[in-house]
A = this chain, B = another copy of it.
Amino acid sequence: MAKKPDEIAKALGVSITTVRLVLGGKAEKYRISKATQARIREYVEEHGVKFDLTARSLKLKRTNTFGLIIPRLANPFFAKLSEELEHRCRETGYQLIISCSNSDEETEKELASGLVQRNVDGLFVVSSTSDSQQHLGKTISKPMVFLDRDYGNTDAPIITSSNFEGAKDLAAAIAKHADGEPVYFLIGGSNQPTITERARGYLEVMPQNTEKDWTLQSARNRTQDGEQMMLELWEKLGKAPQNLMVSSLPVLEGALAVLREKLGHIPPQLRLATFDDNKMLSFLPNEIWSVKQNEAEWAEAALEAMTQTMSSEKAHSKTIATRLIHRPKDQ
């Protein structure tokens, strides 16, 4: 069982300070004798040590802890991002504390103030609304880095994916193979900045859209929103579309579920384009393009921005490039 410093000191007949100096790597600086060092290290080798980080934190006013607030861990993108960020934080000597706001403004505020009371050294936040981002920016006097959602109302650094460029690439890719047929775009969560950027990218490469509106919108981006939008589209067309772009995977799930219900199957000649990549997209026989976000690079950029903010450097916001992935149609 790990011994506490005072126990070690007593057992070896030296002072607590000596033990701490040696174990804290300050032995050379204070020129503790080699002999004493050896005795202490040997004892520790055998019994182990147990430092109390709580007391250390109280003294140093620093917990070596960061908070991360995301909407949901059930969202694979946020889960992967959290994993990468947790890993990098740990490498840098920080423990990451992950909490889910469930996209609720109130919960988000409560989480933030809870983490502040726990004296985290900094806060990463995927903010659910413009208001809450603004509120946090004003209320929290800790280093902060915002992730994913840029509402344009904070001075803190923001890490985002290149949603606009990604959307342009995605839309261009599917349009090129669309044989002039419309490329409908189901937009879920149209009030989120992430999503409006994607919509903007789509419009940029779809000039045809200005005459006839090929987009459908929904306030949120859950499976049921995808269902609802596809029902609307079906109503309008009286049949399945030939080309479909969606703003996120849950929307795709909903949209395809409706087609399967209407037709008994997902039409294999339907061309698809979606944000977020997932291995299970290969389950579809369809030709499909997807936009993959780079979570590892995100985590790196986020941590760098945090480090800069903590050393009161001016941290720059950063946009992470996405990658277009193409899966050809089955034979």
Contact = CB atoms under 8 A, between A and B. Distances in A.
Interface in A260-285: 260, 263-266, 278-285
Contact of A73 (B55, B63, B80, B141): B80
A94 to B, nearest CB: 11
Interface in A37-78: 50-55, 57-58, 63, 72-74, 76
A95 interface: yes
A331 interface: yes
Contacts of A260: 282, 330
Nearest to A70: B83
Interface residues of A, number: 54
A49 to B, nearest CB: 9
Contacts of A223: 279
Given A79-B73, A331-B265, A52 B282 contact: no
Contacts of A73: 73, 79-80, 82-83, 86
Interface stretch (A19-27, A97-105, A123-131): A97-105
Contact of A278 (B1, B53, B119, B280): B280
Q: How many copies does the complex hold?
A: 2
A279 B256 CA distance: 11
A116 interface: yes
A253 B277 CA distance: 14
Contacts of A51: 117
A87 interface: yes
A90 B130 CA distance: 25
A95 B114 contact: yes
A230 to B, nearest CB: 14
> 4 closest pairs, A vs B, by CB?
A264-B331, A265-B330, A280-B280, A73-B83
Interface of A: 1, 50-55, 57-58, 63, 72-74, 76, 79-80, 82-83, 86-87, 90, 95, 97-100, 102, 114, 116-119, 139, 141, 223, 249, 253, 256-257, 260, 263-266, 278-285, 330-331
